[in-house]
A = this chain, B = another copy of it.
Amino acid sequence: MSHNTFGHMFRVTTFGESHGVAIGCVVDGCPPLIPLDVTEIQADLDRRRPGQSRFTTQRQEADAVKILSGVMVHPETGVQVTTGTPIALLIENTDQRSKDYSDIKDKFRPGHADFTYEAKYGLRDYRGGGRSSARETATRVAAGAIARKIVPGMTVRAALVQMGPHKIDRGNWDWDEVARNPFFCPDKDKAAFFESYLDGIRKSGSSIGAVIEVVADGVPAGLGAPIYAKLDGDLAAALMSINAVKGVEIGDGFGAAELSGEDNADEMRMTNHGPSFLSNHAGGILGGISTGQPVVARFAVKPTSSILSPRKTVDRNGADTDILTKGRHDPCVGIRAVPVAEAMAACVLADHFIRHRGQVG
């Protein structure tokens, strides 16, 4: 990872600010001859799109994606396929309200990147958070839609498994449920609870954190590369790069710190299909390399920093002041992180698939 690019062989470069002309990305290193239609990318974007329920920001934007390069209609099959050259994707910004930013232009919002961008660059784009806006994650979802197609048989899914202190009942886990509620929650009962819980938070102008779990099925054994390109290291960096993420864990994660060696060991037995693990404390990764079991990662998202209660801060002129953030915002920004996490995991796994195929042949 460097600057605004991630991946080593399957590389994604993103650009754009919340209130600029457009956001987009360049996907470089995608294998050729993969069928790719813009509707597939749009479908993933639509899952992430804000404004679809009262629980996400009311910014109304089509997020219509265009493919600018890297595909062509195959002269023989008539199907649009990738050509092996960079695939540029563009999403125009259409709902940059020409609002008055005088409230925040000169104040550093606590919990936001206002102060750090200013400290680093000597100025910051105060319009909607500029480059640090969650809007940038739309481009990752677009890239992820391509990445999903690289590893044969792989599926990557994510779900919200905790909101505030409230965890789902893992016995109720139903992947089909994820598409049926506005929280991407796999536990039907907890989703019903979250509806009233988050309504209360939303109405009070507050916000709350969340935990998301990503599961990749069908990952072949052998992906990942010692020592500084471990699959879990790359996943950790990829998930930590999502806005507001403050923690990442693989498999049992922090729970593993409390286990004995006996309890943590994933024992093995032969099956008709070859060696098989009897448990998956490791989250599908040992020594940085995939085991062939599902790859399981979780990450914590802090509460949205934009809240209606005034907070103490300072301004660019060095004076104490207070700030409160009016306008559209997500009471639980973790919700929209769910499809983003799928995209990031898919990109990392696609990259390692290509790398492994190259190195090992």
Residues of chain B within 8 A (CB-CB) of A66 are 21
Chain B residues whose CB sits within 8 angstroms of the CB of A259 once the complex forms:
164, 208-209, 302-303
Task: Name 5 interchain pairs, CB-CB below 8 A, sorted by A.
Answer: A13-B86, A84-B120, A233-B236, A241-B288, A257-B334
Q: Which residues on the B side are within 8 Å of A116 (C-beta)?
A: 221-222, 224, 285-291
User: With the chains together, A309 CA to B275 CA distance in Å?
Assistant: 21
A84 cross-chain contacts in B, Cβ below 8 A: 117, 120-121, 359-360
> What CA separation (Å) do A307 and B252 show in the bound complex?
19
CA distance A161 to B115 in the complex (A): 30
Q: Kindly identify which residue among B22, B115, B206, B209 contacts A257, using a CB–CB cutoff of 8 Å.
A: B209
Most buried by B among A112, A136, A257, A307: A257
Q: How far is the CB of A274 from chain B (nearest CB, A)?
A: 7
Give the distance to chain B from A219, nearest Cβ to Cβ, in Å.
12
CB of A88 within 8 A of CB of B16, answer yes
Contact across chains for B26 and A13 when beta carbons are under 8 A apart: yes
Are B69's CB and A21's CB within 8 A? Answer: yes
In the bound complex, do residue A20 and residue B68 qualify as a contact, i.e. CB atoms below 8 Å apart?
yes
A227 B256 Cβ-Cβ under 8 A: no
CB-CB under 8 A from A286, the residues of chain B are: 111-113, 115-116
Q: Is A165 an interface residue (CB 8 A)?
A: yes
Contact residue among B67, B120, B207, B275 (Cβ-Cβ distance under 8 Å from A261): B207
- The answer to whether A2 and B228 have CB atoms under 8 Å apart is yes
Copies, count = 4
Question: Does A42 count as interface, using CB distance less than 8 angstroms?
Answer: no
Q: Which of B15, B233, B305, B314 contacts A68 (CB under 8 A)? A: B15
Contact flag A210-B257 (CB < 8 Å), given A13-B86, A248-B247: yes
Q: How far is the CB of A21 from chain B (nearest CB, A)?
A: 5
Contact at A111–B264, with CB atoms within 8 Å? yes
Q: Kindly list chain B residues whose C-beta atoms are within 8 Å of the C-beta of A222.
A: 116, 119-120
| CB atoms of A249 and B120 under 8 A apart | no
A99 within 8 A of B: no
Are B275 and A108 interface neighbours, CB within 8 A? Answer: yes
> Given known contacts A85-B4, A303-B259, is B136 in contact with A22 (CB within 8 Å)?
no
Asked whether any CB of chain B lies closer than 8 Å to the CB of A218, the reply is no
Interface membership of A31, Cβ < 8 A: yes
Q: Is A131 part of the binding interface, using a Cβ–Cβ cutoff of 8 Å?
A: yes
Residue A179 interfacial (CB < 8 Å): no
Binding stretch for chain B, among A43-51, A70-78, A169-177: A70-78
A62 at the interface (CB under 8 A from B): no
Does B270 contact A319, Cβ atoms closer than 8 Å?
yes
Contacts of A123 in B (CB 8 A): 32-33, 72, 74-75, 81, 83
**Are the CB atoms of A360 and B32 closer together than 8 Å?**
yes
